Amino acid sequence: MKERMDEIRELAEILKKSENIVFFGGAGVSTESGIPDFRSADGLWNEKLKIKCTPEQLVSHTFYMKYPEEFFEFYKSKLLYPDAKPNDAHKALARLEQMGKLKAVVTQNIDGLHQAAGSQTVYELHGSVLRNYCEKCHKFFDEKYILDSEGIPICDECGGRVKPDVVLYEEGLDQDIINASVRAIAAADTLIIGGTSLVVYPAAGLVEYFRGDNLVLINKSVTSEDRNADLVIHDSIGRVLSEAMQYIISI
């Protein structure tokens, strides 16, 4: 097994020689900013409904339509973290983009932290909590409007229900975002997969379009793509990317 510094050095060399890097990330990127994976939340027993729901059920289209009040109770408490800040992973990726090496971030996260760190080309597969829209008049609202609302958020102009611009379970991904992500991954010479166990489909299936030279996987746990990767590092995504960037700068 390679020594950790050898892994960091190898990653730095890959980043240094690459000209078209794409990063594909999941919940593990955001957990280092204090945002837990909502799927790790306990299922909730609802006294009024007399049912026990899993986190996935609570953020499904069916639950949103059938029990909107309970949906927003869970959504506000488990998916909104307005005080979260970009961590070392977000910052390193933004720096790589500024250097002209990173061409796109494809993320399963909905927190907007990549953009907050300075990344410009970000494909949000599952939408963003920062965008919310009235289902009747389509007026847009920010995250604070949702947090400040009592119960179900209502449009201040037409009275319609305000829905988060996130992809709920049972809803399809935005085809334009998928197509842009596929094009970016297919054109990359290096694909870095970070902070994801690659179990959420169809998003995880996008990595199959990679045909480049270097497949790098950085995740704390083993994934289904470990055997196919050119470099696998089981460690904190923020720590690894930060140390690799420091190594690049020093050489």
| Mean pLDDT in residue range 73-94 | 95
The confidence score (pLDDT) of residue 1 equals: 47
For the chain, the structural domain boundaries read: 4-35+86-126+172-250, 38-78, 130-166
**Catalytic entry in 90, 126, 138, 234:** 126
Does 234 qualify as catalytic in the annotation? no
Q: Exposed (0-12), middle (13-18) or buried (19+): which is 249, by Cβ within 10 Å?
A: exposed
Q: Which helix (H) or strand (E) holds 148?
A: helix 143-148
At residue 90, does pLDDT exceed 60? yes
Q: What is the pLDDT of residues 116-163, one digit of tens each?
A: 999 999 999 999 999 999 999 999 999 999 999 999 999 999 999 999
Nearest of 8, 14, 37 to residue 196 by alpha carbon: 37
Q: What is the pLDDT of residues 101-117, one digit of tens each?
A: 999 999 999 999 999 99
- Whether domain 4-35+86-126+172-250 has CATH 3.40.50.1220: the reply is yes
Instruction: Specify the CATH number for 130-166; select among 3.30.1600.10, 1.10.8.60, 1.10.3720.10, 3.40.720.10.
Output: 3.30.1600.10
DSSP notation for 53-122: E-HHHHTBHHHHHH-HHHHHHHHHHHT--TT----HHHHHHHHHHHTT-EEEEEES--S-HHHHHT---E
